[in-house]
Structure 1
């Protein structure tokens, strides 16, 4: 894809021992088995993303059968996301350097071994360690799957392929609680992890047979200082974001890792500017195209991740749904994303409107859906359903357009690094969305509580402290108001992201349109 970014205008890489896969054998659309390869990588992506949310419904079982404390359960859930987010940049760089197929296979093996260990764990500590191991494999899989898609598809089909990849991501995230609920209805909690094993075995065979090897031909020496700095910095920041809502944003346990992460990431940027063979080319951030795309990534995931987190609370605390029912109520969002992309509607719209307008219009539509859910969420499900469909339609267009913009601003031989940036910012945006919008909810809720309730920070605690039906009604309304404000802040973030990303990308491509 053409770009005005000088770092992406380098000549095609000289021939290396391992050729790039896209367009080989004279195929104008890319690799001849590209659609089968897409199915394989999407299957791997499915189980990786599913495991971000599948464990939520198993909390009662884990507490009783493993004797897990509240802190143990939090780490069972967070260890996976923490390790995964901390390693995404490194995993992408490793895929470019050592081979995307090789790292895809390594990711499957690590993820499968971690899943087996998690399914057979007999203690809380064992399960936490297994989840961390799964996170290592997940980081490799998330980056290599998108990097492989970039290699085997050419520009004309890439938006549709990335759209399918993104739709599977959304479907898996929303389906986690549903799948977990179904499995727990028939088997013990360990089966949630063991169902990954057949998928991993199938993936290993299919990747070995179908996926061509590709790597950056002249990667240079490994950037070991960059690896160390990026892992420490990202892990510290993500840890602070994850633990902030529970421990309090001003607690030493949050401020210390946040400060450490900021200092180390600043050192990482400084090192990457001087390194002879950096794992991440900092000159990319001088490109308005790249900057616009990554702004869109952060703000769309901030708004959508945070708003979906608030919605699950709305369904369970306000509407009194079970976790499984809440997951089913959220399903129309993911199903709309899938429909928009699997029918090719998103790819056709992106081709017609171009990336800047597609991102802007998609994020504006998503913001409208978020605002609608916020304003009518206390009523019948019909209004919520309409909002979820709007959110899904907007996300189904904006997400693949943003991913294409990020990946298109990076030379194809550095597709793994691009996938690492995309994944890292998505994780960071989602984590910040949950943290910030959750904080907005708590602040608004606390401000509206009756004085007699005291300083209760959760709805159940406040309802228990309320005296009489009238005060309980005031508590419920305070919580609903907090949800509305939080969701509207999320809608505003998505709207802002659409405007900024569309403006920056529009300016970046305008000179090319004038033939400059």
Structure 2
């Protein structure tokens, strides 16, 4: 065989491998895109789902969002450790399979609480596929392509945020069931191609079983808090079940902390919070997502209930904000080369609050999207894009290299818990007054206060001994 033939054979082999890598990355990204998309399209659909089931209670409908977010948050860390132990490919295939089957179940649901049950099963699948897919990206992609692949994987979630409201609005023109039916063919494609093409990857250092009991305690704790706050306006703050929910929240939370201290593989490694940056990152990302969840759902409910806009029009109206997240993230990274990244994150938080302030000062009963909603929503999107990537990337700066994966998962867990709290607080503020302008204004003022508090906590993202201005 001549040298030229050898070179051509080598080039041909590398070309085939490169095609396989691209296909694998596409499979991993489309699964994460689908899981993220499902969150944003459901926000737009609450009213139609409620009408379909004869449900008008926002506190009940909010569990379509909260049930998903609570389970996803609580299981994200143990699911990642489970995948490390039993294989990342297994975790991904089982996760996407469960997500797909539960999407079909959600579409066929005949009642609200059956739908919420399948949403919880979706969350379990999403919790499995998310860390598994990122782990596969990090292990199967060639070293020279790894950074670019991670950026593409990360941007899949941002793209889902931008596309979700519009896709949801279009599908709702058919029926709300199509929000979940669309996942089925995509999920089947992802499962079949993953089984055939993605190599199996297992951690070289096999850890013990993750703390599933701690995960259950966390689910009970956050669920009890959300139930107590969400139903207090319906049942009254003095109702025994409301008080029982708050007591259960405290007991389960104490149990979770105790379990985390003694379990060898806890969901939350409490020792990580010795890092000042890690602690402030989790506090800030919680505040960011409380404010953002309130702003997102409130502006959707406002446009649909006060202005009477259709789901499609609402989806198009709110898509502009998420579209600003990706470009503003790039701008934020550039700013961090001139001023410290904690200041950039604080500026982003101020912008998130400024968007809510514009809502509170300008929104009226008579619709004028271009002056009352769009400016504030664009500013919120810019602020979110500047803040979120910095928090996620800076959270693990003080952690050891073998702690970064767990640290990142914990940050994302607090991000989801922030969304639960934001949705729940909005339910408390609005109560049954989803057509009361004053109630919406109150929610936006609360979002302003939370954002300003987040701007203060964001300043703690810079380590005390770090005076480097570039991130």
TM bin (shorter chain): 0.7 to 0.9
The question of 1:510 aligning with 2:465 is answered yes
1:177-188 matches, within 5 Å, as 177-186=165-174, 188=175
- Secondary structure in 2 matching 1:292: helix
- Find the aligned partners of 1:43 and 1:127 in 2 and give their Cα distance: 24
The question of 1:388 aligning with 2:377 is answered yes
2:345 is matched with which residue: 356, 359, 377? 359
- Find the aligned partners of 1:224 and 1:440 in 2 and give their Cα distance: 34
Q: Does structure 2 conserve the Cα–Cα contact (< 8 Å) formed by 1:350 and 1:397?
A: no
2:268 maps to which residue? 280
- Secondary structure in 2 matching 1:215: coil
- Find the aligned partners of 1:353 and 1:158 in 2 and give their Cα distance: 28
Q: Does structure 2 conserve the Cα–Cα contact (< 8 Å) formed by 1:293 and 1:406?
A: yes
- Secondary structure in 1 matching 2:203: coil
1:499 maps to which residue? 456
Following superposition, the deviation at residue 213 of structure 1 comes to 2.4
2:439 maps to which residue? 482
Following superposition, the deviation at residue 276 of structure 1 comes to 3.6
Q: Does structure 2 conserve the Cα–Cα contact (< 8 Å) formed by 1:143 and 1:416?
A: no
Following superposition, the deviation at residue 263 of structure 1 comes to 1.6
Check 1:191–1:314 CA distance in 2 against 1; reply closer, same or farther (3 A cut): closer
The question of 1:432 aligning with 2:432 is answered no
Q: Does structure 2 conserve the Cα–Cα contact (< 8 Å) formed by 1:160 and 1:347?
A: no
1:25-424 matches, within 5 Å, as 39-55=26-42, 69=55, 78-121=66-109, 126-146=114-134, 168-173=156-161, 175-186=163-174, 188-205=175-192, 207-208=194-195, 209-210=197-198, 213-215=201-203, 217-240=205-228, 242-244=230-232, 246-341=234-329, 344-350=330-336, 353-378=339-364, 380-383=368-371, 384-414=373-403, 417-424=406-413
Number of corresponding residues: 446
Q: Does structure 1 conserve the Cα–Cα contact (< 8 Å) formed by 2:285 and 2:411?
A: yes
Check 1:227–1:192 CA distance in 2 against 1; reply closer, same or farther (3 A cut): closer
- Find the aligned partners of 2:351 and 2:333 in 1 and give their Cα distance: 17
Following superposition, the deviation at residue 425 of structure 1 comes to 1.3
- Find the aligned partners of 1:94 and 1:224 in 2 and give their Cα distance: 10
Q: Does structure 2 conserve the Cα–Cα contact (< 8 Å) formed by 1:301 and 1:429?
A: yes
- Find the aligned partners of 1:119 and 1:251 in 2 and give their Cα distance: 34
Q: Does structure 2 conserve the Cα–Cα contact (< 8 Å) formed by 1:146 and 1:419?
A: no
Following superposition, the deviation at residue 177 of structure 1 comes to 4.4
Moved more, 48-57 or 100-109: 48-57
1:458 maps to which residue? 433
Report the aligned-residue RMSD: 3.8
Check 1:149–1:125 CA distance in 2 against 1; reply closer, same or farther (3 A cut): same
Gaps of 5+ in 2: 1-17
Following superposition, the deviation at residue 49 of structure 1 comes to 2.5
Following superposition, the deviation at residue 299 of structure 1 comes to 0.6
1:7-26 matches, within 5 Å, as none
TM-score, length-scaled by structure 2: 0.79
Following superposition, the deviation at residue 320 of structure 1 comes to 2.9
Check 1:277–1:49 CA distance in 2 against 1; reply closer, same or farther (3 A cut): closer
Following superposition, the deviation at residue 380 of structure 1 comes to 3.5
TM-score, length-scaled by structure 1: 0.73
Q: Does structure 2 conserve the Cα–Cα contact (< 8 Å) formed by 1:166 and 1:400?
A: no
Moved more, 387-396 or 417-426: 417-426
- Find the aligned partners of 1:103 and 1:170 in 2 and give their Cα distance: 23
Q: Does structure 2 conserve the Cα–Cα contact (< 8 Å) formed by 1:38 and 1:161?
A: yes
Q: Does structure 1 conserve the Cα–Cα contact (< 8 Å) formed by 2:173 and 2:312?
A: no
- Find the aligned partners of 2:233 and 2:84 in 1 and give their Cα distance: 36
